[in-house]
A = this chain, B = another copy of it.
Amino acid sequence: MSTETQDSAPRRRGRRPAGEDTRRALLEAARRSFAEHGFAGATVRAMAAEAGVDAAMVNHWFGGKEGLFAAAMELPVDPKQISEMLLTGPIEEMGERIVRTFLGVWDGGGGGAFVALMRSASSNENAARMLREFISTMVFGPIAKRVGPDHPDLRASLCGTQIAGLGMVRYVIKLEPLASADHDALAATVGPNLQRYLTGDLGL
């Protein structure tokens, strides 16, 4: 769409001049396309075209559509890094910090990564399992273990509902005014609710 550098002459064969990063272009187009159309809906040809490259490059670089999907779905930051970032600082501010951390990560990539994740989770049972394991072991597990004296796993699940719902409404459904709200407002509003899930009385 953007770089229309095609001369009308069909592109010459063989290796292209150096400097162009086919792999990266392919990955970008794949993230966008998978997020919009899902795994089955996105076509290799369209993604390759968007990257300005032949479809065969998908096979060459990623070994097929699935490989490209796996590569495109890798999380934008290191999970361990997130977990550490969340665990630093005073416990009573953890709710707000979690909100800010996730918003920072997701807004950085335009939310596309989140959409793709949710989408693949609801289509692919395998992806759902991966997401489930990732969430429980990498993110909320350690957190809940540190803060929840009574029902740590339930607390983690509850936090999951608030975070997933936040992403859902902000990036997928795009319900206003939340979709356009700034990080401060969201930290102030959903932070306390998260905090209750973490350290508050659950009423059980």
Residues of A within 8 A of B (CB): 36-41, 115, 118-119, 121-123, 125, 128, 131-132, 135-136, 153-154, 156-158, 160-166, 168-170, 172-179, 181, 185, 188-190, 192-193, 196-197, 202-204
Contact = CB atoms under 8 A, between A and B. Distances in A.
A108 to B, nearest CB: 19
Contact of A175 (B136, B169, B170, B189): B136
Contacts of A153: 176-177
26 contacts: A37-B40, A38-B40, A38-B119, A38-B122, A39-B41, A40-B40, A118-B118, A118-B122, A118-B172, A121-B172, A132-B174, A132-B175, A153-B176, A154-B177, A157-B175, A158-B189, A158-B190, A161-B168, A161-B190, A162-B193, A164-B164, A164-B169, A185-B204, A189-B202, A192-B203, A193-B197
B128 A119 contact: no
A11 to B, nearest CB: 29
Contacts of A178: 154, 157-158, 160-161
A125 B115 CA distance: 12
Contact of A169 (B161, B166, B181): B161
A93 to B, nearest CB: 13
Given A41-B41, A196-B192, A197-B193, A169 B160 contact: yes
